[in-house]
Amino acid sequence: MDEHKLTPSERNRLIELHFDQIEIASECEENDNWDDAGNAYFEAAKIAEKDLGEYDRASNHYLNAGNSYRKTRSGQAYESYNKSIDAYIKSGEIGEAITLSVRCGYIFKKEFGETEKSEEFYAKSVDLRRTHNLDHTCLYTQEHAQNFVDDVSKELNENINNIPYVIHLQKKAMEDATICRKCVHFGEFLSDYMQENEDLGDLGQIEWVKDNHDKFKAKLRETIAYFENLYVLSKCAHSENE
């Protein structure tokens, strides 16, 4: 349906249907019914995109659909993430489209084990960055992630009340950072760290760090090992092709 031909009553009805799907998705999430949540988010996204012409809203719903399908490793995650990227592009949010493309490259390689789809997403991020002449400098290096973990470890032993400030500085540094396939592994590690202690308040963050920092230290070691293995495999593949 053409958005410009909608009568007010038609538009209101579509908005109502859209929010009905969001409500269904939320209920499914509460019950860990992830495939049905993905289906509902996908339907809401289609209404927002095709009927209402609201691409920014559609991109978020397609993203939520992809994240829901990701929970069960459903093949529908691929289409949902692609549609989210396309909607970001249509709404002019090129940076968001690039970020999601890179993250999907990471997800489909590491979690789904689908190298071809992973490379497709990575290539899309490169094309978007080149087309829009956008520069990128890696913030999320192995050294950066290790320094953050070491800083938190130091404060945990010497000045525990300073931990929220260390986390705050890291969050500020991440606000405008962009990612590429070289730094996404450590970017995802840091994002996971931040998300798990989000909105806890200073005391809550301190308690969270006490309980979880060792787990993330181990996770960083695993991330480094995984990244180094990818580098070795990449060099071997390059040598074989020469």
pLDDT tens per residue across span 18-69: 999 999 999 999 999 999 999 999 999 999 998 888 999 999 999 999 999 9
Mean pLDDT, rounded, of the chain: 91
Considering the domain boundaries, does residue 137 fall inside one?
no
Is residue 236 pLDDT above 50, yes or no? Answer: no
Question: Which CATH number is 81's domain given?
Answer: 1.25.40.10
Q: Residues 95, 156: one domain? A: no
Average pLDDT of span 124-132: 96
Is residue 135 pLDDT above 50, yes or no? Answer: yes
Give the model's pLDDT for residue 241. 46
pLDDT tens per residue across span 91-109: 999 999 999 999 999 999 9
Average pLDDT of span 148-164: 95
Q: Residues 29, 109: one domain? A: yes
Considering the domain boundaries, does residue 189 fall inside one?
yes
Is residue 3 pLDDT above 70, yes or no? Answer: no
Average pLDDT of span 146-152: 96
How many domains does the chain contain in total? Answer: 2
Percent of the chain with pLDDT over 90: 79
Q: Residues 14, 115: one domain? A: yes
Asked if residues 220 and 149 have their Cβ atoms less than 8 Å apart, the reply is: yes
Considering the domain boundaries, does residue 91 fall inside one?
yes
Give the model's pLDDT for residue 234. 54
Is residue 85 pLDDT above 50, yes or no? Answer: yes
Last residue of a domain, one of 104, 132, 160: 132
Predicted confidence band of residue 11 (pLDDT cuts 50, 70, 90): confident
155 or 232, which is more confident: 155
Give the model's pLDDT for residue 232. 56
Give the domain extent around 175: 142-240
